[in-house]
């Protein structure tokens, strides 16, 4: 024998959601395969269960009663962005800043959640919209808040055989997402921030902030949320300092911990003074107006 024999997992296609429940009891779910291919195929997994061709798959986005938006966890995220039903701005902006058009045509919300990267772009928008995941398995269905599913880098609390079917997003008045990467496309976040709030005049209520790539999981930022009562530069500067109490960044190949702390403060400060990119204002337009 020249070398070890490699056994490759078999790819089985779930033709319906019910078949997916049965197949996931013994195999590992796969959707766009954009993460699975990076991390390599686990030869201990006998079967991969393809979730992308189920005949009874739900539409990419549905509007439910109470303003809840139900988003498919197995549809490509480009289909979610194109859907006729609107999605919260934070999620739309995160999809727009995600990878490249080719990856967005394959990658799914379910894969982004189950991959459990602290830098996953789509997770902060789910945290600030109090998202609830719809999970399925051969044992039945259950609903779990997103914050109960994220356990650490690469770890979730999903049970064996469970797969993510949909994500319910609760209505928010204002929301947004911004990430800092080393280039504009195909960049993993050095830090990211999603926000949501309601406003009465200049006063903010129900402020939610979620930061990515600054702790073992995406985290809510209670100290910064309490400080962010309005969007004046002074108040926002206080929140930008308070957010340091909410995070535990590490040094890694993309950035030092101190850089991440300062960069996240910068993203918070931009809430008071949106960049041209955020407002969509081109420099040339401003020059024209000014002249």
Residues that bind ligand FAD (CB under 6 A): 28-36, 38, 51, 73-74, 98-99, 103, 106-108, 110-112, 114-115, 120-121, 163-164, 186
164 vs 243 by CB, closer to ligand FAD: 164
State the minimum distance, in angstroms, from the CB of residue 186 to ligand FAD.
5
Q: CB-wise, 69 or 115, nearer to ligand FAD?
A: 115
Closest to 217 in 3D by CA, of 132, 117, 129, 126: 117
Query: Residue 33 or residue 89: which is nearer to ligand FAD going by CB?
Result: 33
Q: CA 240 to CA 268: how far, in whole Å? A: 5
User: How far, in Å, are 32, 74, 117, 206, 247 from residue 109 at the CA level?
Assistant: 10, 7, 13, 25, 24
Nearer CB in complex with ligand FAD: 77/240? 77
DSSP characters over 58-92? PPSEEE-GGG-EEEESSSBHHHHHH-SS---HHHH
- Residues in CB range of 254: below 8 A, 6 or more apart: 182, 188, 190, 213
State the minimum distance, in angstroms, from the CB of residue 55 to ligand FAD.
16
For the bound state, the minimum distance from the C-beta of residue 205 to ligand FAD, rounded and expressed in Å, comes to: 29
User: In this structure, what are the phi and psi dihedrals at residue 16, rounded to the nearest 5 degrees?
Assistant: -140, 165
Cα separation, 38 vs 128, in Å, equals 28
**Gap between the Cα atoms of 231 and 178, Å rounded:** 17
Compute the least distance from the CB of residue 128 to ligand FAD, in Å.
16
**Do the Cβ atoms of 172 and 197 come closer than 8 Å?**
yes
Q: How many CB atoms lie within 10 A of CB 234?
A: 8
Q: Which residue is nearest to ligand FAD (CB)?
A: 111
In 3D space, the residue among 30, 54, 53 whose CA is nearest the CA of residue 41 turns out to be 30
Q: How far is the CB of 30 from ligand FAD (least distance, A)?
A: 4
How do strand 150-152 and strand 155-156 relate by DSSP bridges?
A: antiparallel
The minimum distance between CB 154 and ligand FAD, in angstroms, equals 9
Please report how close the Cβ of residue 16 comes to ligand FAD at its closest, in angstroms: 15
Please say which residue, 83 or 103, places its beta carbon nearer to ligand FAD: 103
Contact between 182 and 173 (Cβ < 8 Å): no
* 158 vs 236 by CB, closer to ligand FAD: 158
Judged by beta carbon, residue 120 or residue 146, the one nearer ligand FAD is 120
Least distance from ligand FAD to the Cβ atom of residue 52, Å: 8
Q: Which is nearer to ligand FAD, 105 or 147 (CB)?
A: 105
Q: Determine the Cα–Cα distance for residues 91 and 202; give it in Å rounded to an integer.
A: 24
């Amino acid at each position: 024998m020249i070398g070890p024999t490699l056994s490759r997992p078999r790819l089985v296609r779930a033709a319906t959601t019910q078949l997916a429940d049965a197949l996931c009891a013994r195999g590992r779910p796969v959707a766009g395969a954009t993460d699975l291919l990076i991390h390599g195929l686990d030869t201990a997994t006998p079967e991969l269960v393809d979730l992308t061709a189920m005949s009874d798959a739900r539409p990419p986005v549905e509007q439910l009663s109470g303003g809840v938006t139900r988003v498919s966890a197995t549809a490509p995220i480009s289909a979610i962005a194109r859907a006729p039903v609107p999605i919260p701005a934070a999620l739309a902006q995160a999809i727009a800043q995600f990878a490249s058009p080719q990856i967005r045509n394959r990658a799914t919300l379910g894969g982004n959640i189950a991959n459990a990267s602290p830098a996953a772009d789509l997770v902060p928008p789910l945290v600030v919209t109090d998202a609830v995941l719809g999970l399925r398995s051969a044992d039945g269905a259950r609903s779990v808040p997103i914050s109960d599913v994220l356990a650490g880098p690469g770890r979730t609390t999903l049970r064996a055989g469970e797969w993510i079917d949909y994500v319910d997003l609760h209505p928010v008045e204002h929301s947004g997402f911004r990430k800092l990467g080393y280039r504009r496309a195909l960049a993993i976040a050095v830090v990211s921030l999603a926000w949501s709030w309601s406003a009465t005049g200049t006063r903010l209520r129900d402020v939610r902030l979620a930061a990515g790539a600054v702790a073992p999981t995406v985290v809510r930022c209670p100290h910064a949320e309490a400080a962010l009562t309005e969007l004046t530069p002074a108040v926002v500067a206080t929140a930008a300092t308070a957010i340091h109490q909410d995070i535990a960044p590490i040094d890694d190949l993309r950035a030092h911990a101190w850089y991440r702390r300062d960069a996240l403060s910068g993203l918070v400060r931009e809430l008071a003074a949106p960049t041209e990119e955020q407002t969509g204002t081109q420099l040339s337009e401003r020059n024209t107006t000014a002249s």
